[in-house]
Structure 1
């Protein structure tokens, strides 16, 4: 079953750490968001394969926007 990872707040995508096709484990850092001068890591909540990365560095995400899908 696919796990969708969504933004919890409005933020800039500061750095993309993982790429589509990567094998990830629970806690693997996928992207780093930046909001109000704070870096917020977005991590996988389960293991699997990163099948979709929906953001690029420099993007702005809104609360609820899709960041990644893990299968």
Structure 2
């Protein structure tokens, strides 16, 4: 499952690492858009396969944040 940015935003926090096992609903990152922080949660149970962002990165809509399988 690819997690992608839905709107222009900035990465405020990444709360998991590659190889971590996550449950559906686990907060995996926090994005900031228009001065509001929004938690990004895993839509599936799985393992974090890759993370394509770092704290402070500015994202465009559709930017790949991470892959969970």
**Normalising by the residue count of structure 2, what TM-score does the alignment of the two structures yield?**
0.96
| Match of residue 29 from structure 1 | 27
Correspondence for 2:39 among 35, 38, 41? 41
Q: Does 1:4 align with 2:2?
A: yes
- Report the count of equivalent residues: 69
| Match of residue 13 from structure 1 | 11
1:37 shift after superposition:
1.0
CA-atom RMSD in angstroms: 0.6
Point out where structure 1 has 5 or more consecutive residues left out of the alignment.
Answer: none
Runs of 4+ aligned residues of structure 1 deviating over 2 Å after TM superposition are: none
Equivalent-residue separation in structure 1 for 2:27 and 2:59 (angstroms): 17
**Normalising by the residue count of structure 1, what TM-score does the alignment of the two structures yield?**
0.93
Point out where structure 2 has 5 or more consecutive residues left out of the alignment.
Answer: none
